[in-house]
Structure formats: structure tokens, C-alpha cells
Amino acid sequence: MNLLEASGIAKSYSGVRALKGVSFDLQAGEVHALVGENGAGKSTLIKIITGVVTPDSGTLSVAGEVVAQHDPATARSRGIAAVYQQPALFPDLTVAENIAFALESGGLWRTVNWKSRTRRAAELLERAGAAISPDRLAGSLSMPEQQIVEIAKAIGSGARILIFDEPTASLTDREVERLFRVIRDLRAQSAGIIYISHRLEEISALADRVTILRDGESVGTHAMAAVTRDDLIRMMVGREISAIFPKRDAPIGEVALETQALTCRTAGIRDVTLQLRAGEILGIAGLVGSGRTQLAETLFGVTPADGGEIRVRGEVVEIKSPADAICHRIGYVPEDRRRHGVVLDLPIAANVSLANLPVVCERGLVQRGREEALARGYVERLRIKAASIDDEAASLSGGNQQKVALARWLAIEPAVLILDEPTQGVDVGAKPEIHSFMVELAERGLAIIMISSELEEILGMSDRILVMRGGTIAGELPRSRATQQTILSLALGQAA
């Protein structure tokens, strides 16, 4: 019996077609994996299933019944529950209450029984595989702990359709095992599970069927046993890997940046030792939660280090804030583009000059002419598509916003540039532009650190690859020895 059936689902966001007519079905008692690159449309499909987003066209039916009006509350009542990468818990409420919100329903005027809530929460947390006290405030939990609470919520809601979106990103091996046990239990109870993951070996171990999405379309649905990992990768990528990245031949120069036993307890980084040379693109790979962004933020001063040292061009430096980093000509294009990369409500010109206002100022006053010239220069150089440099960043597409973010950091004339997921959410046309630009910068002597979750990108762009795991470096791979398998095995902590 089909627990869930989606057919012809299409959705566009301001002109970008996220889904182009996807069909998908889920049966009772199966784990159905959903794979695809970033931007393939997986999260959009999930949002439609959970009612957060309404499709532009297509139908959705649950247990044979067509769903007309769909919203999160309806989804819940139909037995759909999701465990996202970013848990949406109430930070000021206890774990028990957070779980209760997912489980309980009924009138606004019903009374709440705290004892039974706490008891139930403890049970579910146990089943989800963790010993978290139900009385703790959700805001005090670590990310993996929050995820477990989310899993407990999903289990407890008695949902028949469960969606797991990259659930193992920050879990230890043991926790992963426990999760798999939970999922298998649920499957045995005739629930249907949609499992999204980049970790192909997980999917091989767990899933019954797999659907591959690519560029908003479904490439195919297959029994897990019938496909190999290579098949999957091929279907996800749809092209030969090596063809897309620009050829590189930059001379590698002096050491621009190095760290020695760098530690930041609050960020979870420990003992990171690395070297970065001018002209080099150093890729940093690792699973979500391995500490890549945290390392970048420590280097950039957002979460200043409390142990170890950083050297810029041979000199020991103290980086206690982003302003310090900028002083030492380190730039950082962050992962969260909309919140940290650009200021959406400021025009392009203002965004570009924001990190280096002195360069467009005369005695503290912004010189419009200079600012405009600066912005126009980058608009041209990076081929930013915008009507005018006075347009607000919010009006641009993801790719162009990323270019503006990049322009901001290029404007400080950095020696070191850290790029965190530089092409995430960037449209297909802009991606290669950004890549060729990175190569150009490296050829000009910039030292680049590139953090990416897309293995092809890492493999295609990097001269060397550092693999992170658990907040520290798990291993280093020169380009010649790097493959998806070697990276993944280091990332997972297994022998290559």
C-alpha cells in the first residue's frame, strides 16, 4: 500500500525551478532513500511533503487520500514527521515539553500532565538512543543532542511517514548505529521512512529503494540492491566528474597562513595544525558537524581561539575578532550567505565596500564616486547580473548574491581567502564562473581555503585536501591520492 504518493510536483522560487514535475512514492515498511546533489530539489520536496511549502502544481496523497490543503498541522495529523538537520526546538522550553509539542494534540484548553510528559520523553529519548535529561532546556543542548530530541519527537508522534534529513551528520558511530536500529524498528512496524543522505554507504546499508533527484527532476527510482555506488554517483551527477572544473597550474608560493595546535573549546575545534601557501587551493572536506565551519570561524575571529597559535606570513598573530582578521588580510565568505555573507537590505555597492570602508572613504566620509567605481569593477569582473549597483542584494539570485559576498572580500585585497560552501545554492550557470574565478585568484597568488560538502567540487578544485572529523584534522590527501572513497573513509573515521 502506498503510504505516500506525490505526482507531478513542481515548484519555482522567483523564477528558479526547484522542482520540475517530480513523482515519488513511499510504501509501508520500507526505507526509501532520496539522494541528489545540493540544489537537486530534495529539501523542497520534503518541505512540500511536510506542508511547509505549497507546490505550484502536482498532487500529493497520503494513504490513498488526496491532500488538498496542506500545512504543518495537517501534515502532523496525517502522521508525517520530519527530523531536519536544523532542529526547530523551543530554546527556552525543556526537552520534555519540546517533545510533548510534537506528540500532543487537542484543544487549547486541555490540561498538561508534566509527570507523564517527562516520563514519555525519557522513554522516547531512550529509544532514540541517548541519555538526555528531559528537564534540560532545549537551548542548552548541543546540535547532536538536539537532533536526537527531534528523532524522539518523530518516533513519539506515532508517525507512519518519517523523514530523516541528513540525520547522522553530527553523530558518532555508536549513535549512528543506534539510529539505524531505531529506523529498522520503525520499518518493522510498517512505517515508511524517507532517508536523505550524502553518505552513500549508509544508504546502501539501510535503504530498500532509492530515488535520485537531479536538477529538480527525478532520474529514477531503483531497488537498492540493484544499483552500485558508482551508479548512484553517476546518476546524481549526470556527467563525468573531471570535465567540469577548470584546469589548474598555479605556482605554489610562500606559506601564507599556518596554525599550530589551534584550539577553540567553544567552537569544538581542537589541535588543528595546517599550512596554507600562496597560490594554493586547500580543500577542507568532512561531514556536517565535523568542525569545518567552526575552524573557519576560528581563523576569522568569530570564535577566537583559546589555544595554539596562528601565523600569518611567518608572524604569530592574535585574531580576536573579524576586524583583526581583516587587518591581517584574511577574508571569509561565510556559509550562511543571507545572514552573514551579504546584508540583504543594503545595495550592492554598500555591500561590496562594507568590510573595507576606509578604502572608499576620505577622512571618514564615504565617497560615492569611489564606492561606485569599486562596485562596478567587481560587477564587471565577477559578471554580477544586476540592473544597477543601487539594487538591494535581496533582489539578486543566489549566485549573484554569492558573487557580491565574494566581491566584498576581494575588496580588502586579501592574502588569504576562506570560502565556506562557495557554490551552495548557486544556480548552475554561476557555479563554473565562481570556480574559474577562484582559480584565477589562486594564480594571482591568493591563498585559498575552500570548505565544501560537494565531493566533486573538492576533488576538482583542490591542490590538497584536509579531511576533518570531530573538530580536528583526520587526514590530509594530496590531489593525486584523493578520491571520494579516500575522503569519505577519513571523514567517517575508517581506514582508507
Partner 1 sequence: MRRWFPNSEWVLLIALAFEIAVFSALGENFFSLGNFFEVVRLSVELGLLALALTPVIVTGGIDLSVGSMMGLAAVVFGAAWRDWRLPIPVAALAALVIGAIGGGMNALLIARWKIPAIIVTLGTFSLFRGIAEGITQGAVNYSGFPAGFLSLGQGHLWGVVPVQALIFALAFAGYAILLHRSAIGRTLYAIGFGESGARYAGIPVRRRLALVYLLSGLVSSCAAIIYVAHLGQAKSDAGTGYELAAITAVVLGGASVFGGRGTVWGTLFGLFSISVLQNGLRLAALPAEMTGVLTGAVLLVAIGLGQMRQKDAPAATLEETPVKNTQLAVLCATILVGSLIVAGTNAWLVHSIGAGASAPVASTTTSGHRPVVAMMPKAKGDPYFVSCRAGAEEAARDTGVELIWDGPTGLDPAKQNEVVEGWITRHVDAIAVSVENQAGISTVLRKARERGIKVVTWDADAAPDARDFFINQATPEGIGFALVDEAARLMGGKGEFAIVTGALSAANQNAWLVFIKQRLETKYPGMKLLTIRPSDDDRDKAFNETQTVMKVYPNVRLIMGISAPAVPGMAEAVRQSGRKDVFVMGLSLPNLNKKYVHDGVVQAVVLWNTRDLGYLTVYTAALLARGRLARGADSIEAGRLGKIEIRGDQVILGNPFIFNKQNIDQFDF
Partner 2 sequence: MARWGRELSLVAVIAALSAVLAVTAPGFFTAANERDLAMASMPVLIVALGMTLIILTGQIDISVGSQFAIAGVLAGVLSKMGLPVALAAAGACLAGAAMGALNGALVAWARMPSIVVTLATMVALRDALRWVTQGAWVQDLPADFQWFGRSQRASELITAGSAALLAIAIAWSLDKVAAGRAVYATGSDANAARMAGINPSRVVFSVFTLTGALTGCAALFNAIRFNQIPANAGMGLELQAIAAVVVGGTAIAGGRGGIAGTLLGVVLLGMIGPALTFMGINAYWEKAIQGAIILVAVAVRRERNGS
What's the rounded Cα separation, in Å, for the pair 90 and 102?
12
Closer by beta carbon to partner 2, 163 or else 349? 163
How many residues sit close enough to partner 1 to count as binding (CB under 8 A)? 29
Longest dimension (CA), the chain: 73
- The phi and psi torsions of 444 (rounded to 5 degrees) equal -85, 0
Task: Quote the least distance from Cβ 346 to partner 2, whole Å.
Answer: 22
Residue 459 CA to its chain's centroid (Å) = 18
Closer by beta carbon to partner 1, 149 or else 302? 302
Residue 7 contact partner, candidates partner 1, partner 2, none, CB within 5 to 8 A by sort of partner: none
Stretch that binds partner 1, among 91-99, 109-117, 161-169, 342-350 (CB under 8 A): 342-350
What's the rounded Cα separation, in Å, for the pair 409 and 429?
22
For residue 280 the three cell numbers come to: 594554493
Residue 180 contact partner, candidates partner 1, partner 2, none, CB within 5 to 8 A by sort of partner: none
DSSP code at position 67? P
Closest by CA position to 268, among listed 143, 120, 420: 143
Binding mask 384-403 for partner 1 (x = CB under 8 A): ------x-------------
429 in Cβ contact with 405 (< 8 Å): no
183 in Cβ contact with 195 (< 8 Å): yes
Closer by beta carbon to partner 2, 107 or else 358? 107
Task: Quote the least distance from Cβ 163 to partner 2, whole Å.
Answer: 14
346 in Cβ contact with 407 (< 8 Å): no
Vertex 410 angle, CA 282 and 383, to 5°: 100
150 in Cβ contact with 87 (< 8 Å): yes
Task: Quote the least distance from Cβ 156 to partner 2, whole Å.
Answer: 13
Stretch that binds partner 1, among 91-99, 102-110, 334-342, 421-429 (CB under 8 A): 334-342
Task: Quote the least distance from Cβ 355 to partner 1, whole Å.
Answer: 5
Residue 89 contact partner, candidates partner 2, partner 1, none, CB within 5 to 8 A by sort of partner: partner 2
Binding status of residue 413 toward partner 1 by CB under 8 A? no
Residue 110 contact partner, candidates partner 2, partner 1, none, CB within 5 to 8 A by sort of partner: partner 2
Binding mask 285-324 for partner 1 (x = CB under 8 A): -----------------x------------------xxx-
Task: Quote the least distance from Cβ 346 to partner 1, whole Å.
Answer: 7
Closest by CA position to 305, among listed 336, 259, 340, 341: 259
What's the rounded Cα separation, in Å, for the pair 325 and 409?
12
Binding status of residue 369 toward partner 1 by CB under 8 A? no
Binding status of residue 366 toward partner 1 by CB under 8 A? yes
What's the rounded Cα separation, in Å, for the pair 291 and 294?
5
Question: Strand, coil or helix: what is 427?
Answer: coil
Residue 13 contact partner, candidates partner 2, partner 1, none, CB within 5 to 8 A by sort of partner: none
Q: What residues contact 363, with CB distance under 8 A and at least 6 apart?
A: none
Half-sphere exposure of 86 (CA within 13 A, CB side): 2
Closer by beta carbon to partner 2, 76 or else 214? 76
Residue 369 contact partner, candidates partner 2, partner 1, none, CB within 5 to 8 A by sort of partner: none
Task: Quote the least distance from Cβ 284 to partner 1, whole Å.
Answer: 19
Task: Quote the least distance from Cβ 147 to partner 1, whole Å.
Answer: 22
Residue 408 contact partner, candidates partner 2, partner 1, none, CB within 5 to 8 A by sort of partner: partner 1
Among 119, 184, 320, 339, contact with partner 1 (rule: CB under 8 A): 339
Binding status of residue 345 toward partner 1 by CB under 8 A? yes
Position of cell 569544538? Answer: 268
Question: Strand, coil or helix: what is 170?
Answer: coil
Q: CA of 59: how far to CAs of 44, 62, 101, 161, in Å?
A: 15, 10, 28, 17
Which residues of the chain form contacts with partner 2 (CB under 8 A)?
52, 72-73, 76, 88-93, 97, 101-102, 104-112, 114, 139
Residues paired with 16 in a beta bridge: 13
Residues that bind partner 1 in the complex, under the rule CB under 8 A: 302, 321-323, 325-326, 332, 334, 339-346, 350, 353-355, 357-358, 361, 364-366, 368, 390, 408
